[in-house]
Amino acid sequence: MYRQIAEMAARQQVWVERIVSAALAGQMSGWARLKEMAARGNRECFLAALDKAPAAEPAPEDRI
């Protein structure tokens, strides 16, 4: 992974540390947003919405 990051940094003419710090900042921002969204969540509303979903097998292209 370091080699890939180093190649990307060389192409963009920036330090590896800048690429890594930008990636970490993006991840931390994403986790913070997820935490905020989870705090607004409501289990009862989630279960009510889930009850509205049909009890059917997934389409063939959706199966794992």
Q: What percent of the chain has pLDDT over 90?
A: 84
The rounded mean pLDDT for the chain is 94
CA angle 52, 50, 63 (to 5 degrees): 100
Average confidence (pLDDT) over 22-50: 94
Q: How confident is the model at residue 42 (pLDDT cuts 50, 70, 90)?
A: very high
Q: How confident is the model at residue 15 (pLDDT cuts 50, 70, 90)?
A: very high
Structure-token pair, residue 59: 């389409």
Identify whether the C-beta of residue 45 lies closer than 8 Å to the C-beta of residue 55.
no
24 in any annotated domain: yes
47 in any annotated domain: yes
How many structural domains does the chain have? 1
62 in any annotated domain: no
33 in any annotated domain: yes
